[in-house]
Structure 1
Amino acid sequence: MTALPEAPPEGNIVTERRGALLLIGVNRPAKRNGFSPRMFRELAEAYTLLDDDAELRVGVLHAFGAHFTGGIDLPMLAPLMRRGEKAFPEGLVEPTDLGTPGYRRRQKPMVAAVQGITYTLGIELMLAADIVVAADDCRFSQLEVKRGIMATGGATLRMAERAGLGNAMLHLLTGDEFGSAEALRLNFVQKLVPAGRQLDEAIGIAEAIAAQAPLAVVATRQNALKCVEEGPLAAMAEFAPVQGRLANTEDAAEGVRSFVEKRPPRFSGR
């Protein structure tokens, strides 16, 4: 997708199927991709589509225009925040992947490509993804404390988990702006590329993931998350039962055949 799609005043989320990938584009460049209620709802719907469509294996989250997102459109979202409500209905996949009751957690991998201004919700969405590619022109800030509110999309959890408590406090409590090199140092992003290359790099990583056995990819992702969220013992307890299930799949048999026949595997997700 090269052309900038037309965006309604409240913005929208543009999806594009590319083989086994689902490209999910944030589209409100006139407002620095500030999230409206409509954009939240459509993002949750796109994440749900990724998980529910058997032909899709990996998502790629990206944004149109010069910036990833300036965060939420506070005047539009403030009434919902005061009522403690989300901008998307229950039963959908929660893009911030927090396990909120009533919402689903994403099962399939997500690669995020970010550029330019990546504030508040932008950081939380990328930390909720599995792999992040950042342009070298990124400007990050978790600035909720400057608006009299608290980050509730996962930043207080994941910034400390990725970077250590002191580094998290430095940026959470000051709301300062930092660049791509600092984000890489803090393990918030996994790769830095020249601005304009971030989406291509993210797609390349997503395609490499999509070429692997889908059931094994999902199981591996879930086990790693369980280790982070519940501890190594909980993750290790799943080794034998999960491996037993995977070893009896058609893809495991195909993995053996392709090894013997010295050819690339053709995985079906069964």
Structure 2
Amino acid sequence: MNTPHPTPDTEGRIDCEVRGHVLLICINRPAKRNGFTARMFRELAEAYTRLDDDPALRVGVLHAAGDHFTAGLDLPSVAPLMQRGDRAVPDGLVDPNDLGMPRYRRRTKPMVVAVKGITFTVGIELMLAADIVVAATDCRFSQLEVKRGIMATGGATLRMAERSGLGNAMLHLLTGDEFGAAEALRLNYVQKVVEPEQVLPEALQIAEQIAAQAPLAVVATRLNVLKVLEEGPMAAMHEFETTQKRLANSDDAAEGVRSFVEKRAARFTGQ
């Protein structure tokens, strides 16, 4: 699979490519190790919003041009926003960090992330906000905000402890140390580790497998799992009957039955 051509744009950009029902979203600023500028945050939110709003798109894949996923924030670009308390993501767009903060939309469709090389700060937070992460063996992770006098506010303080436990989260959050793909796998921050040249093909393969399933059922399943984590098992269970009734009356559920009887692959439409 070809890597996207590096951009000469010094501010960087986010590129999108549609492959069937999958939206590939590429972080494209390799000359600066894909360090995030304010413009890139906005364009990433626009790409995530496109995924959620286009009924033909079912799954997103976030990846990066060049050898590294991202070195994190481009502080000269982003610091003025932080000092003013401004938002990098305009109101009404899907928040790539999926935090559920006021005026931000939450993503409903699945996101698979392919990380490689340097994956610092916001890179870790973006992958933890996604649903499935494929990491390259050459990954270097660090949540190093404490080394810059700031705090991780993109979800790391929430999700690292959720995935790996309090002590493991504190170890990496409070020291800002660097760790590799094997440690990330042990801590449940990533789900698969592959060679660098396989990281994007593997992520795309997973996304295509998801895209082949019934879209309404995929979204409902994803949101129910998140409700368990955020509101508890009882809140999630209270949705079982109403959600299953809605899904069972969909065209896709009828197609699921037909495909079972006819012994063929289902052709889901998302209706």
Same fold (TM over 0.5): yes
Query: Which deviates more, 253-262 or 1-10?
Result: 1-10
Answer yes or no: is 1:220 the counterpart of 2:225.
Answer: no
Kindly state the Cα deviation for residue 5 of structure 1 after the two structures are TM-superposed: 3.9
Contact 2:94/2:104 (<8 A) preserved: yes
| 1:61 match: secondary structure | strand
* Seq. identity, %: 74
Compute the TM-score of the two structures, normalised by the length of structure 1.
0.99
Q: Check whether the contact 2:6–2:29 (CA below 8 A) recurs between aligned residues.
A: no
Match of 2:134 in 1: 133
Partner of 2:184: 183
**Separation in 1 of the partners of 2:121 and 2:257?**
45
Q: CA deviation at 1:248?
A: 0.2
Describe how 1:38-77 pairs up with structure 2 within 5 A. Answer: 38-77=39-78
| Superposed displacement of residue 7, structure 1 | 3.6
**Alignment partners' CA distance in 2, 1:125 and 1:185:** 19
Match of 1:119 in 2: 120
Q: Distance in 1 between matches of 2:67 and 2:4?
A: 13
Q: Deviations over 1:25-51 (max 9, x none)?
A: 000001000000110000000000000
Q: Equivalent residues in 2 for 1:94-113 (5 A)?
A: 94-113=95-114
Query: Take 2:267 and 2:230, find their aligned partners in 1: how far apart are those partners?
Result: 33
1:7/1:27 contact within 8 Å kept: no
Deviation for aligned residue 1:86: 1.4
1:206 aligns to what?
207
Which 10-residue stretch deviates more, 78-87 or 61-70?
78-87
Counterparts in 2 of 1:78 and 1:3: CA distance versus 1, 3 Å:
closer
Gaps of 5+ in 2: none
SS at match of 2:265: coil
TM-superposition CA deviations, 1:99-142 (whole Å, max 9, x none): 11001000100000000000000000000000000000000000
TM superposition shift of 1:2: 3.5
1:230 aligns with 231
TM-score w.r.t. the length of structure 2 is 0.99
Q: Following TM superposition, where does structure 1 have runs of at least 4 consecutive aligned residues deviating by more than 6 angstroms?
A: none
- Structure 2 partner of 1:25: 26
SS at match of 1:196: helix
CA deviation after TM superposition for structure 1 residue 57, in Å? 0.3
Give ranges in structure 1 of 5+ residues lacking alignment. none
The residue type paired with residue 254 of structure 1 is E
Amino acid corresponding to residue 225 of structure 1 in structure 2 = L
Q: Specify the SS of the correspondent of 1:159.
A: helix
CA pair 3-42 structure 1, distance change in 2 beyond 3 A: closer
